[in-house]
Amino acid sequence: MKIREYFGEVRLNPEERKYLVKKIEKIKESVLSNYKENEISAELRVSQNKKREWSLEVSFKVPKNVFQASRKGFALTEVMDEVEEVIVRQILRKKEKLQDLRKRGSRSLRKKRTIDGDARF
């Protein structure tokens, strides 16, 4: 997985950077495990305004989908935790939607097989 990092003029200490990368890897391993390693790319944007408020944007690009979340806050770790929750929720919602569509499709195929073609509906 490729991780692109954009920090702008922000200086992160190694512990903060390591925490952010660890969280991105955790998202990849937990909910994006069905994609191949070279199909996933992540983008991380970190900035800080004059009031010392952190702005964090994370996006995952996978085939046919882009999952993106951005949050602001005064503690970098809290902001990353919020972003992680949002992205995991987006990915799980997409997976559930695809599973429901597959189930509905198989139900309609089963109906077409069992219903008599001469029946009036």
pLDDT in tens, 33-48: 888 888 899 999 999 9
pLDDT of 15 reads 94
What integer pLDDT is reported at residue 110 of this predicted model? Answer: 67
Q: Can you count the helices (H) and strands (E) in the chain?
A: 2, 4
pLDDT of amino acid 108? 74
CA angle 89, 83, 72 (to 5 degrees): 140
pLDDT of residue 121: 59
Question: Residue 47's closest CA among 59, 39, 38, 56?
Answer: 56
Domains and their CATH numbers in the chain: 2-114 (3.30.160.100)
What pTM value is reported for the model? 0.80
Report the percent of the chain where pLDDT is more than 90. Answer: 60
The answer to whether residue 115 scores a pLDDT higher than 90 is no
The 8-class DSSP code of residue 31 comes to H
Banded model confidence at residue 8, pLDDT cuts 50, 70, 90: confident
Among residues 69, 64, 63, the alpha carbon closest in space to that of 23 is found at 69
